[in-house]
Amino acid sequence: MSGLFTAAFLRQSGWDAEVYERSTAELAGRGAGITTHPELLEALQKSGAGTRDLGVEVEKRIALDRTGRVIGEKHLRQVLTSWDRLQRLLRATIDPAHYHLGWNFERVEQEGCGVRVHFSGGRVEHGAILVGGDGIRSGVRAAIMPEVQPIYAGYYIWRGAPNEADLSRRALNEVFPYFSFFLPPRQEVICYPIAGFNDDLRPGYRRFNFIWYRVADATLLKEMCVDDKGHQHDYSVPPPRIRKDLITGLRDEAEEALPPAINDCLRAIEQPFFTPIYDFIAPRIVSGRVALVGDAASNARPHMGFGVSKAACDAQALADALRDHDDIDTALAEYNRIRQPIGEIIVRHSRKLGTHMGVNLQTDEDRAMHQLLQDPRAMMDWIAVPNFLDAYR
Ligand SMILES: Cc1cc2nc3c(=O)[nH]c(=O)nc-3n(C[C@H](O)[C@H](O)[C@H](O)COP(=O)(O)OP(=O)(O)OC[C@H]3O[C@@H](n4cnc5c(N)ncnc54)[C@H](O)[C@@H]3O)c2cc1C
C-alpha cells in the first residue's frame, strides 16, 4: 500500500517512480478488512486512485454480552473496506511498465547523489532516492537501522472473513449489519462487513471480517508457531500450515466463550489464521537518500485501524516535501521532521488502546486506561474511530 501510494504521489509531481515488489504474483489480502478514515479517503482521491465502490457502510456500533444481548450502541457511520479493494484501486494508478513483480530487495549502497539498489539475482538499479515501503520486517530499514526491531505486544489475533452467504440467519440479523464488539476481560472480538470476492458489494455476496484478540506470552506464541509438519516459524504460520489442534482448540473454546451469533461467524470460517501483534518506533525515518514509509517507518498495533491511512499520509508528505524543495536532501529532512513524530504518536496511542488486554501494564496511566477500557462504551468511543489524531494537534 505505501509503495503504491508513494509511486502515485511522486508520479503526479513529475518523478519517475518504479515499484519493486518481491512477490512474483499479484498480491491478494485473504479478505483482510480495513477500516477507513478521512485521511485515507482524501489520499485516495488526491492520488488518483479514487474511492469508487470502496466498501460497505455501517451506521452504528454495537456491543454484545456473552448471551448475545446488546449492551451498548454508538451511532457512527463508517465505510469498511478490504485490503484487496484498496490494492486494486491503487494498483490501477501505476502503469504496468513501472510495477515490477519478483524483485526482492537485498541491499542498498548510497552514492554521493543517489542510491544503487541490489535485488536478488544480481539485478541492480540506480536512483536519486530509495523509498522503503516494504512493511514491518522491512529489509530497507534493516539496511540503514538494523538496531530497530519490532516488539511483540504480548497478544495476537485469530482472523478470518467468512462469506455472507455462509452465515447463519442469526448472524446475519444480529451482527452482520454492524461494527460489532464483544469484550470479555483481556479479549476483544471485533466484526464488520466488507466487500466479497472480486470486491462484490451486492447483498448476499459480501464477507464478514472477524478478529479475536487473545493474550499469549512469547513462549506460548513460539509454540503456536510450530506448523503441522513440526517446522518452527519465526513470526507466524502460513494459514494452510496452522496446526489442526490449534484450530480445534479455538473452535471448542469459542462454543463456550462467544455470543452465539459471533460463534456462528467463526464456524463459517473454513481456515482461521492468526497474526501476532508487534509494534515499534524508529528514531528517524530517513538516512541519506533512503526514506521509509508505512509500516517500514513505524508500526502501530491495529487498534485504530489506521495503518493504511498512515501509509497514505507518509507517502503524500514525502511527495509534497520533494515537490516543495529543489534540494532532495532538504526535502528528505523535512519529511523526517514532519512524519517521524506523527508515527511515534500513532504507536503510543495504539499502546494506550492495547492496555485493554491487560498485558504489561507498567504505569499508573496504563492501569487507569486499562480500567477505563473495561467499559464497552469506552471501547466503542476509542477503537478505530475517525479523527483520533485531533487530540494531539
Ligand atoms: C490484524 C491487523 C488488522 C489491521 N487492520 C487495519 C485496518 O483496519 N485499517 C488499516 O488501515 N490498517 C490495518 N492494519 C495495518 C495495515 O495492514 C498495514 O499498516 C498496511 O498494510 C501497511 O502497508 P505497507 O505498504 O507499509 O506494508 P505491507 O502491507 O506489509 O507491504 C509491504 C510490501 O513490501 C513487499 N516486500 C517486503 N520485503 C520486500 C523485499 N525485500 N523486496 C521487495 N518487496 C518487499 C511485501 O511483499 C509487501 O507487498 C491491520 C494490520 C493487522 C496486522
pLDDT digits (tens, 9 = 90+) for 292-341: 999 999 999 999 999 999 999 999 999 999 999 999 999 999 999 999 99
Distance 38 CA to ligand 1 centre (A): 19
| CA distances for 328 relative to 11, 118, 269, 284, angstroms | 16, 22, 49, 17
Closest CA to 1 of 302, 309, 298: 309
Distance 99 CA to ligand 1 centre (A): 17
186: left (phi over 0), alpha (psi -120 to 50) or beta: left
Average pLDDT over residues 104-111: 96
- Determine the atom of ligand 1 nearest the C-alpha atom of 34: 8
Distance 294 CA to ligand 1 centre (A): 8
8 Å CB contact between 179 and 61: yes
Distance 174 CA to ligand 1 centre (A): 31
pLDDT at 15 over 90: yes
- Determine the atom of ligand 1 nearest the C-alpha atom of 293: 26
pLDDT at site 26? 84
Helices (H), 145-217: 169-174
Classified as helix, coil or strand, 147 is coil
Neighbours of 121 (CB within 10 A): 9
Instruction: Please report where in the chains the cell 530497507 appears, as a residue.
Output: 140
Identity (one letter) of the amino acid at 110?
Q
| CA distances for 78 relative to 75, 177, 184, angstroms | 10, 12, 24
Local confidence band at 37 (pLDDT 50, 70, 90 cut-offs): very high
Distance CA 343, CA 331 (A): 18
Distance CA 170, CA 158 (A): 22
Q: Pairing state of beta strands 290-292 and 130-132?
A: parallel
pLDDT at 88 over 80: yes
Identity (one letter) of the amino acid at 358?
G
Closest CA to 19 of 134, 128, 115: 134
Distance 365 CA to ligand 1 centre (A): 30
3-state helix, strand, coil in the chain (%, to 5): 40, 25, 35
Distance 264 CA to ligand 1 centre (A): 29
Q: In this structure, which residue's CA is closest to atom 14 in ligand 1?
A: 307
pLDDT at 31 over 70: no
Indicate whether this model's pTM tops 0.85: yes
pLDDT at 30 over 70: no
Which residues are CB-contacts of 34 (< 8 A; sequence separation ≥ 6)?
55, 80, 81, 82, 83, 86, 194, 305, 308
C-alpha count within 13 angstroms, C-beta hemisphere, residue 255:
5
- Determine the atom of ligand 1 nearest the C-alpha atom of 37: 11
Which residues contact ligand 1 via a Cβ below 6 A?
A: 1-3, 20-23, 27, 33-35, 103-105, 133-135, 139, 157, 275, 294-296, 302, 305-309, 311
Percentage of residues of the chain with pLDDT beyond 70 = 99
Classified as helix, coil or strand, 80 is strand
